[in-house]
Amino acid sequence: MGTEIGLIALILLVTAQGVLLYWVWRQQLRLRIQLAQCLSASGTDVPTSMLVMMLGRLERRLESVERHLERHGAHMPVPAASPQTYALAQQLAREGVGVDELVLRCGLSRDEAELVRRMHSVA
């Protein structure tokens, strides 16, 4: 009788262990499925969050450039004058127009106007 009780206890223990292992295996399977779903759902969020972060950086950089232009806008290079502008400046210099007038009428820098006046004025 003692042997039979020991055998029944052993069978119950093995059965309980089997049920427990099956339950752990099912939980692991559920967790894997949930993890796969989370990764696939967040796959679209990662690029969006990166874009939002990059947009913030670009906005800050743009604000920095705008502040720099506000402070140093007068020192920005002037676009180059066209050949027609230089032809007009040469003609005006031959007529004896001063440097300030060349700057105003032709849009030349002061140095350009002085150079045109020296090269083309009739003295």
Entry pTM: 0.37
108 alpha carbon, distance to own chain's centre: 37
Measured CA distances, 59 to 47, 49, 52, 69 (Å): 18, 15, 11, 15
- pLDDT, one tens digit per residue, over 72-116 is 765 555 566 688 888 999 999 999 999 999 999 998 889 989 999
For residue 96, the SS3 value is: coil
Q: Where are the domains of the chain?
A: 2-74, 78-120
pLDDT tens, position by position, 9-42: 889 999 999 998 999 999 999 998 888 887 776 5
**Apex 10 CA angle, 7 and 13, nearest 5:** 155
- Give CATH for domain 78-120: 1.10.10
pLDDT band at 45 (very low <50, low <70, confident <90, very high): low
Residue 50 and residue 105: Cα distance in Å, rounded? 51
Angstrom distance (rounded) from CA 83 to CA 26: 82
- Quick check: 89 and 113 in contact, CB under 8 A? yes
